[in-house]
Structure 1
Amino acid sequence: MDSSIKPENSQLPKFLAIPVVSLLLLGCVSSFALVGFNFIPSAEWMAETNLLRIIAGFLYAALLVWVAWRGGKQMSELKRVIAVAVSPFAGYFMGSSLLFIWPLLLPLISGHEVALPFTVLRATDLGGKNCHSPVVLEDMPYLIGRVCHVPESIRSSLSQGSHIVVRGWGTRFGVYARDLSLASLKGPRF
């Protein structure tokens, strides 16, 4: 009697929906956490996860392009093209940030006072709205490789290549920066 044709379903297959949404949420959480806190991953963690971060970034970028293309069928053509054009960049940022979840969350479980060594890239930046007078660290990704709110008296004694120690709450994989000092000096600096 009713021989109606079922409409084409442009939604994600149900078996993919939960993992895709979970990955998107994890990527957002780690990305926002990195931008919002003065967390600095250790040089050791950065070196060990470099290739994995690149792979995760590219996979996540491809996944987000696919989701934007697949899910954007109800949007106008212009909005769909913009979503597909922006999604690889957002996807790469979120995907490569996924590996920062562990160093970010580990201090909540087993954190303690740590002092991690870093090398200064620049100490002359003015900073922005949320990070005044930063010290930018060498071999760190954009936005997270800096210690914020460092007094000018400390910044003036630093130059490119200076070895510093960043102290705070964390683990050997990263630290929520509280203060810094030259590697040869002892004690809190700000």
Structure 2
Amino acid sequence: MQNDQTPPEMRAPRLVRILSIVPFLLGPLPVFAILFGHQYLPAPAWVSLIGPFAWIAGALSAVLFFWLIQGDSSIHEKYGPLARLTLIVFTPIMGLWMGYTAVTMGGPMIIAILAGQEEELTFTVTEATRWGDRKCRNPIEIDGMPALFDRICHLPEEFRRTLIPGVQIVVGGRGTQWGVFLENARRKE
């Protein structure tokens, strides 16, 4: 017997509910990696190639998350109008971000963890003079990366001082041609 009080005609099909888990699991993975001290950088070529598909996945995730929230009648019973409005607005935005990030970073990140080897990728510096904070010391901003993941953190200040916009750097670490976990960086010669 199910504890779900939502009428069967209002519930999302089982396949849809299962598919909604994919962006929910893969989307925040890069954030969790940073929280545990591992920065993953997708390859600029990968982000450029997969970008349109990632936006489509993000849009589908946004619609899916919105549909799941709308179909859950318990939300309408448990929460007041302001909380429901916040959920209705926030859920599609979160779905868009999670779907996009799952495709551009989450999937390649899992592959890098499971089958990665030593890899080097080239990135172009856009800014290297901004002040860092405790979460990102000595930030180096790089071109062509998804928002929130467009900077490299915790590299030596001496290295950062040698960089100007337009300079290319080579980042090495465990990964694949689609992205690497940052272990070291050097100027491209």
Which bin holds the TM-score, normalised by the shorter protein?
A: 0.7 to 0.9
Q: Displaced runs of 4+ in structure 1, greater than 6 A?
A: none
Q: How does 1:6-155 map to 2 (within 5 A)?
A: 9=7, 12-16=11-15, 18-23=17-22, 25-33=24-32, 35-36=34-35, 37-71=38-72, 72-74=75-77, 75-99=79-103, 100-155=105-160
Paired with 2:119 and 2:22, the residues of 1 have a C-alpha distance of 30
Paired with 1:50 and 1:21, the residues of 2 have a C-alpha distance of 20
Q: 1:34 to 1:52 in 2, by over 3 A?
A: farther
Paired with 2:58 and 2:33, the residues of 1 have a C-alpha distance of 15
For structure 2, the residue ranges without an aligned partner over 5 or more in a row are: none
How far is the alpha carbon of 1:141 from its aligned partner?
1.0
Amino acid in structure 2 at the alignment position of 1:110: A
Q: 1:96 to 1:25 in 2, by over 3 A?
A: same
Q: Matched residues, percent identical?
A: 27
TM-score norm. by structure 2 comes to 0.83
Kept in 1, the 8 Å contact 2:118–2:174? The answer is yes
Kept in 1, the 8 Å contact 2:30–2:40? The answer is no
Kept in 1, the 8 Å contact 2:124–2:167? The answer is yes
How far is the alpha carbon of 1:20 from its aligned partner?
4.7
For structure 1, the residue ranges without an aligned partner over 5 or more in a row are: 1-6, 185-190
How far is the alpha carbon of 1:139 from its aligned partner?
0.9
Which one has the largest radius of gyration?
A: 1
How far is the alpha carbon of 1:34 from its aligned partner?
5.6
Q: 1:60 to 1:31 in 2, by over 3 A?
A: farther
* Aligned pairs, number: 178
Q: What is the aligned partner in structure 1 of residue 172 from structure 2?
A: 167
Q: CA RMSD, aligned part only?
A: 2.2
Q: What is the aligned partner in structure 2 of residue 178 from structure 1?
A: 183
Paired with 1:19 and 1:176, the residues of 2 have a C-alpha distance of 29
Paired with 1:79 and 1:135, the residues of 2 have a C-alpha distance of 38
